[in-house]
Chains A and B, each alone.
Chain A
Amino acid sequence: MDKAPSLRLAAPGELRTDRSEALRYLGYGKSSPDMAVLALLESCEKELLSSCQGRACWARVPVSFPSEHSVDIGFGPVESVSLAKHLKGCHSALLFAATIGIGADRLVVRWSRLRPSRSAVLDALGSSAIECWCDDVERELTKDEEKHCDRFSPGYGDFPLHHQKDFMHCLDMGRLLGISLSDSLLMKPSKSVTAVIGLGASARTCGSKCMFCEKKNCIYREVMV
């Protein structure tokens, strides 16, 4: 990869949340929240969206398969059976990173001391907001593509988390998005995502992120209807 990444900033009012996703993160499954919780969701949503800043950057990279268990997505071979499988049939890919900014972290920290319920709800809404922002940017980026895969992130399957460092370098995430990595390879702002989106005529999707995951007994697992 020899190209600088592209950057996109969310327009004012562009970020959104997905309440049903947030409720899923809060353990609701198929149950509905009562009025008090709905009111809490609503007020947290306002607070969250007014303190978030959406940013995303990406770069197009060629994809090659040095071996059966590895795939090269622009920064040398990645040893990962699940990523290789996921990108099978792709000729290129988008390396992608996005964040809704540090505002969400600040709110979660702030309320965790004073109103834990608010903190938990803001956390869940923040997670839904970064997913929505990723979905929106991804849709825009892939609208002219013949076919594309779902987002696949370091940490999914056996895609090692240490490749976060490669994403940081290749996408200049520190400068463009204000993202930093902790020693344990987690991103700050914490409502941030890095992912590969495979492109190519035979790229495949499977409809739900949860289907990649090997933790089949997860309480957050999306119920496929």
Chain B
Amino acid sequence: MNLLEKIRTSRTYCDGGMGTLLQARGLKPGELPERWNLARPEDIIGIHQQYLEAGSNIITANTFGANVLKFGDELEDIIVAGLNNVRTAISRLAPEKQADRFAAFDIGPLGKMLQPLGELPFEDAVEIFAKSIRIAARHGADLIFIETMNDSYEAKAAVLAAKENCDLPVFITCVYDAQAKLMTGADPAAMVAMLEGLGVDALGMNCSLGPDQMLPIVPRLAAETSLPLIVNPNAGLPRSENGKTIFDVDAEYFSDVMVKIVEAGACLVGGCCGTTPEYIRRTVMKTSGLPYRLPEKKTHTVVSSYTHAVRIGEEPILIGERINPTGKSRFKQALREGDIDYILNEGVRQQEAGAHILDVNVGLPEIDEPAMMLSVVRELQAVSDLPLQIDTVDPAAMEKAMRACNGKPLVNSVNGKPESMEAVFPLVKKYGGVMVALTIGPNGIPETAEGRYAIAVDIVAKAEAYGIDRRNIVVDPLAMAVSSDPQSANVTLESIRLIEERLGVHTSLGVSNISFGLPNRDFVTSTFFALALQTGLDAAIMNPFSVEMMKVYHSYRALRGMDANCTGYIGFASGISTQAAAGNAANPAVAAADSAEPLKHAVIKGLKEKAGALAAQMAAEMDPLDVVNGQIIPALDVVGKGFEAKTMFLPQLLMSAEAAKAAFEAVKAAMPASGQPSKGKIVLATVKGDIHDIGKNIVRTLLSNYGYEVIDLGKDVPPQKIVDCALENDVKLVGLSALMTTTVPAMEETIALLRRSGARAKVVVGGAVLTQEYADMIHADHYARDAMETVRYAEELFAE
């Protein structure tokens, strides 16, 4: 029987621990176990044989750490030997016992954290996994078994590598903690959504927990997945007792709990650390007679981030629409200037306002959309844990975003035209995702609900023929301006009803269009939103900053029994009244109590909202430049001097910088784009090899407050890149940061290269390990012991 048939029809057993058995045979601490594939094959084969005798169907090769980072040129030999050892063990079984035994190429984490938390780029991780997987596929592995994944992003990299480089079945097990989360935060629902989307053949969990702790997680996985579920627990937790290592769960107890785990829905079972052939033997004995059932096929629609999943079709889902340049000049400016911080801020604010999913649209004719989309998706995932809706008509941008997405995204959109389906279906099939299907056909948007319904039917049928389940489609029947067609709302509402009732597919809607061309649009939009929800709408692309919209959302949930004790509504409504009260009282209080210079005071005190509001008010009444030079800059100076005199400290310095930034934003809005002052450009970078950028980021914040245009090259930046950037922009100053003594040479190299290149830039250096002596030694022009000193040096230099 082939493996996929086998797991669909009968219980399949994995093997158990390898490490402890190798240690018992003399593996030394620090010695890489995979080397034994070549050095001591008989020991490895012996262990495999014991597991086979115990009843294991899937034997994982001793290749857990077999990646090019660890083994370089030896990689192929290690993997080939590992797989051969499994084959040899199987061949030594009596012929009648050899059926239903499979050699798995086993692969674990790379031992390097992926960006943005670590330094390994996602695509590098994919390539490293791919190298090993190609070798394994060439040398007769029956399946790829990815295991012990504790980071969802690394799990995605490994699965993509497997899917792109072989046709073998792909199994994956991840490490959950006692709270049922991966180390990087994903819960079972999030992992299932992403992994099923990527097309794995079986999934589950292993390692870290004993069977008792895994038991409650089994039903949570089973409730989400339609795939065979794998459960490979540890023999409990390791602990030392009288100088011996004890795993607190013995084989008898382990196998008793495995019975419960099987009853809770596990299909493939085995063991991990501390388990031995005896654990597997008893497990097989006790569970092989139990009835076998696969998890039932799930029909819910779900998207996910790297922490959680969001179901569409239960409660109303809010998709924040604000990351979109349409009609927003400030946003367009941010895109053109590559001002990602502005965009990120819009994302986080929407999350705080209550959005469940963030729509990401960065399409502007004059920018490189695929590149911008990729960078916004990556950066957004570092600041927000909401699932994303990739919103683009450019298939290249869509693919880049779906690939980089650390979860299962919504994809906005596909429509009923053949070319659209041809472009989008393959991407959804490969990367996983829920498509938003617009009811636009080859002849445009039908005027009737029946016409729109017919297009929805067509898209769903073609998607299913392509192998995309209808639960991965939500239909957007389109809202057109009611000001130009009095029937438009009725048609849209009727379409929603038809699609929900007859097609059984969920719906989403960009609700704001309905009020186009009308004054006070929120009144109409929010009323339409209420009607659509009542008709069955599941998700709305909307503005979560609109109080009118949020009123409808919270009231609807309370009225429809979705908000126990009206807690959500009360939280929302009481927040509104406090805000209103605070708004009324704010201005007189500022003027009366604080000082004659309220803006200056607000910046010094780090009152961000107040500083923004006051600056907007002042910029409307006087020359914006006077607001900057007369209020904001002097306030920053007060704080800077306080910091230098040690009467104010880092948190205050930064809070004040944030308040100043808010004030600048307000002033900027009041100024023509050309009138914005820039004192000059400065390049900043954390040098090659160093990934610590907290200090550098602080310097960036302060310098931009003082009116410098900062080109921040980020961390771990190669010398040549810094030099190229300095030359290209002809900057007067380059700031380099390093935290570690080991990276100071990279700093020295960068400075030397800058000098040789003929760049005119002076170099200021800073960072934890630097001293004046160090700075002199590496020929820096200036050593700054803190962020303020960098500002002072820049002020001096640029005044010349």
Contacts and interface: CB of A to CB of B under 8 A. Distances in A.
Interface string B355-384: 000000000000000000000000100111
B651 A40 contact: yes
Nearest to A172: B19
Contacts of B654: 116-117, 120
A59 B651 contact: no
A59 B384 CA distance: 38
Contact of A175 (B207, B345, B694): B207
A221 to B, nearest CB: 13
B341 A2 contact: no
Interface in B674-697: 689-691, 693-694, 697
A89 interface: no
B383 A180 contact: no
B112 interface: yes
B279 to A, nearest CB: 16
A6 interface: yes
A9 B29 contact: no
Contacts of B119: 182-183
Contacts, number: 161
B382 A184 contact: no
A106 B185 contact: yes
Interface residues of A, number: 60
B117 A37 contact: no
Interface in B737-769: 740, 742-743
Contact of B23 (A4, A26, A102): A4
B657 A170 contact: no
B287 to A, nearest CB: 26
Interface residues of B, number: 65
A48 interface: no
A174 B113 CA distance: 11
Given A26-B650, A106-B185, A182-B118, A113 B344 contact: yes
Interface string A81-112: 00000000000000000000111011011101
Contact of B740 (A37, A178, A184): A184
B240 A175 contact: no
A108 B694 contact: yes
Interface stretch (B131-139, B176-184, B484-492): B176-184
Contacts of B742: 161, 184-185
B348 interface: yes
Interface string A180-222: 1111111011000000000000000000000000000000000
A170 B237 CA distance: 17
Contacts of B274: 4
Given A28-B649, A123-B694, A180 B658 contact: no
B188 interface: no
B273 interface: yes
B328 interface: no
B510 interface: no
A34 interface: yes
24 contacts: A1-B29, A6-B237, A7-B238, A26-B649, A27-B646, A28-B649, A31-B649, A101-B183, A109-B117, A109-B383, A112-B693, A113-B340, A113-B341, A113-B697, A116-B698, A120-B698, A161-B742, A175-B208, A178-B183, A180-B113, A181-B112, A184-B691, A184-B742, A188-B117
Given A180-B113, A182-B691, 9 more contacts: A4-B20, A4-B23, A36-B606, A110-B384, A120-B650, A120-B694, A176-B238, A182-B112, A184-B690
